[in-house]
């Protein structure tokens, strides 16, 4: 484990679900089928790294024609 993971901001399920706009149950279902953002499991505790959530949101972002700069 790198120092960056130790120092990184870690979120529980509830704030993660709120940030992603889904329910805690949806997060749990995603974990069960290995979907959604990466997570850490320490014993029974589940944590999400803020940097992983940012990366996940960037990956699922859908660009529209209007959002691109037309030159």
CATH of the domain at 45: 1.10.10
Q: Bigger pLDDT: 52 or 70?
A: 52
**Domain with 27 in it:** 3-67
Q: What is the mean pLDDT of residues 14-43?
A: 96
Helices (H), 1-71: 3-7, 13-20, 24-32, 50-60
How many independent structural domains does the chain possess?
1
pLDDT digits (tens, 9 = 90+) for 44-55: 999 999 999 999
Please report the pLDDT score of residue 66 as a whole number: 79
Cβ count within 10 A of residue 54 = 12
Q: Percent of the chain beyond pLDDT 70?
A: 86
């Amino acid at each position: 484990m790198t120092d960056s993971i130790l120092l990184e901001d870690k979120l529980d399920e509830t704030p993660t679900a709120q940030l992603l706009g889904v329910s805690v149950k949806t997060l749990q279902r995603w974990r069960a089928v290995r979907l959604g953002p990466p997570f850490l499991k320490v014993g029974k505790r589940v944590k999400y790294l803020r940097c992983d959530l940012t990366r996940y949101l960037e990956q699922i972002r859908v660009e529209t024609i209007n959002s691109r700069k037309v030159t």
